[in-house]
């Protein structure tokens, strides 16, 4: 998965083309035109070198995956209503034109309207982060073998609350993206079907994490929902598949050292027509993730390690692993990343564990304004 890094806030005056869009999204009265939303943006691009690629050996790698990002945030003084949205443009937007709602290399990574119920609880309506486990730190390789359960942004409603050391979330996501057939959440790396196979819909999510001591937290997340057939065999697109997952996790911060661990159990029963076409009904596997990180001044060192264990009948793949050591440097308005990825397997669009060797070096820079 790919992440929206913290950025330097800026409030720009005279942004008349943007304000009507924000007002329309909030359903506001003309009085709201006096509000001053925070508008900022950024760019990123990436260098990639695949170690076993003859082409990269000849060309010395590829510069690309460029993207422009715009952020819109609005919190009106004295009002419990807020807005947060992120638009990405370009081939580095971490989206697939064949599966997203725009049919192009741009889209809304997030867009939610928030309502602060009280000091300890809030609601978000729109496209927001799915509260499931934790998100890893690496930027370009993404969620690796967390495969669709790492950085999910789905469309629905989420309730968040804190009380007596307990943080919890309850959510209902109507679909994993905007539109009728989109299966693209921009950061899930294509692990939830496609616009011609199936998509994730009608998903309930619950997450709870307890602060066991200062800087240490244990938690559990569960999600269960349905899968909608998009093969076109039945033009009604029946919702006759289902999915579920359970994760238990730990997060600990010890001065400069941080430790995170997670174990996830996943299951999918594919929609009937699609399952019949590929002769695959049920997909099951377990995932494990460990992240160690160290902060030293403006440097952030990290190691993400993932494992996936296939439990699907007929899947003869062995347990596969991915290792992603990296370092980022905060140079002021943005970050520079140097990352290495090695893995002997992956996760496909159906959540199946696959075997295969892949190694690559990534160097990424972003800049926020």
pLDDT in tens, 38-77: 999 999 999 999 998 899 989 999 999 999 999 999 998 8
Is the model's pLDDT at 124 over the cut of 70?
yes
- The pLDDT, as a whole number, for residue 96 is 85
| Gap between the Cα atoms of 309 and 316, Å rounded | 11
Domain residue spans in the chain?
A: 41-66+116-368
pLDDT in tens, 168-179: 999 999 998 999
- The pLDDT, as a whole number, for residue 35 is 53
Calculate mean pLDDT across residues 256-268. 98
- The pLDDT, as a whole number, for residue 99 is 84
- The pLDDT, as a whole number, for residue 204 is 98
pLDDT in tens, 139-158: 888 888 998 898 789 999 99
- The answer to whether residues 113 and 25 touch, using CB atoms and an 8 Å cutoff, is yes
| Residue scoring higher pLDDT (309 or 187) | 309
- The pLDDT, as a whole number, for residue 97 is 85
Query: In this structure, which topology does domain 41-66+116-368 adopt according to CATH?
Result: Porin (2.40.160)
pLDDT in tens, 93-107: 998 888 888 888 989
Query: 16 in the Ramachandran plot: left (φ > 0), alpha (ψ -120 to 50) or beta?
Result: alpha
3-state SS track over the chain: CCCCCCCCCCCCCCCCCCHHHHHHHHCCCHHHHHCCCEEEEEEEEEEEEECCCHHHHHHCCEEEEEEEEEEEEEECCCCCEEEEEEEEECCCCCCCCCCCCCCCCEEEEEEEEEEEEECCEEEEEEEEECCCCCCCCCCCCCCHHHCCCCCCEEEEEEEEEEECCEEEEEEEEEECCCCCCCCCCCCCCCCCCECCCEEEEEEEEEEEEEEEECCEEEEEEEEEEEEEECCCCCCCCCCCEEEEEEEEEEEEEECCEEEEEEEEEEEEECCHHHHHHHCCCEEEEEEEEEEEEEEECCEEEEEEEEEEEECCCCCCCCCEEEEEEEEEEECCCCEEEEEEEEEEEEECCCCCEEEEEEEEEEEEEEEEC
| Gap between the Cα atoms of 311 and 318, Å rounded | 10
- The pLDDT, as a whole number, for residue 103 is 86
- The pLDDT, as a whole number, for residue 14 is 35
Is the model's pLDDT at 11 over the cut of 80?
no
Is the model's pLDDT at 200 over the cut of 80?
yes
0.85 exceeded by pTM: yes
- The pLDDT, as a whole number, for residue 10 is 34
- 17: CB partners within 8 A, 6+ apart: none
Calculate mean pLDDT across residues 11-16. 34
As a whole number, the mean pLDDT across the chain is: 89
Calculate mean pLDDT across residues 2-15. 37
Q: What percent of the chain has pLDDT over 90?
A: 76
| Gap between the Cα atoms of 86 and 166, Å rounded | 29
């Amino acid at each position: 998965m790919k992440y929206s890094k913290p950025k330097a806030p800026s409030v720009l005056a005279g942004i008349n083309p943007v304000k009507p869009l924000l007002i329309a999204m909030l359903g506001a009265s003309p009085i709201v035109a006096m509000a001053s939303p925070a508008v900022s943006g950024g760019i990123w691009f990436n260098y990639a070198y695949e170690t076993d690629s003859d082409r990269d050996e000849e060309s010395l790698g590829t510069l690309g995956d460029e993207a422009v990002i715009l952020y819109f945030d609005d919190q009106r003084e004295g009002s419990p209503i807020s807005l947060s949205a992120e638009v990405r443009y370009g081939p580095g937007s971490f989206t697939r034109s064949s599966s997203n709602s725009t049919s192009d290399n741009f889209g809304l990574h997030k867009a939610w309207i928030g309502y602060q119920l009280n000091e300890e609880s809030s609601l978000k309506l729109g496209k927001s982060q799915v509260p499931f486990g934790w998100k890893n730190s690496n930027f370009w390789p993404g969620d690796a073998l967390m495969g669709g359960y790492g950085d999910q942004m789905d469309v629905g409603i989420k309730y968040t609350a804190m009380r007596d050391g307990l943080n919890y979330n309850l959510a209902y996501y109507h679909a994993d993206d905007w539109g009728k057939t989109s299966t693209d959440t921009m950061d899930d790396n294509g692990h939830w079907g496609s616009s011609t196979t199936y998509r994730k819909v009608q998903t309930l999510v619950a997450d709870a994490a307890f602060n066991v001591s200062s800087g240490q937290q244990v938690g559990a997340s569960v999600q269960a929902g349905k899968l909608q057939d998009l093969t076109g065999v039945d033009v009604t697109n029946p919702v006759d598949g289902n999915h579920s997952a359970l994760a238990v996790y730990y997060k600990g911060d010890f001065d400069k050292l941080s430790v995170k661990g997670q174990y996830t159990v996943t299951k999918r029963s594919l929609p009937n027509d699609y399952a019949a076409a590929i002769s695959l009904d049920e997909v099951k596997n377990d995932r494990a993730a460990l992240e160690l990180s160290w902060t030293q001044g403006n440097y952030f060192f990290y190691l993400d390690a993932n494992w996936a264990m296939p439990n699907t009948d007929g899947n003869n793949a062995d347990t596969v692993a991915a290792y992603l050591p990296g370092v980022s440097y905060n140079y002021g308005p943005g970050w520079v990343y140097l990352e290495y990825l090695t893995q002997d397997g992956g996760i496909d669009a159906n959540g199946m564990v696959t075997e295969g060797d892949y190694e690559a070096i990534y160097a990424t820079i972003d800049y926020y304004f």
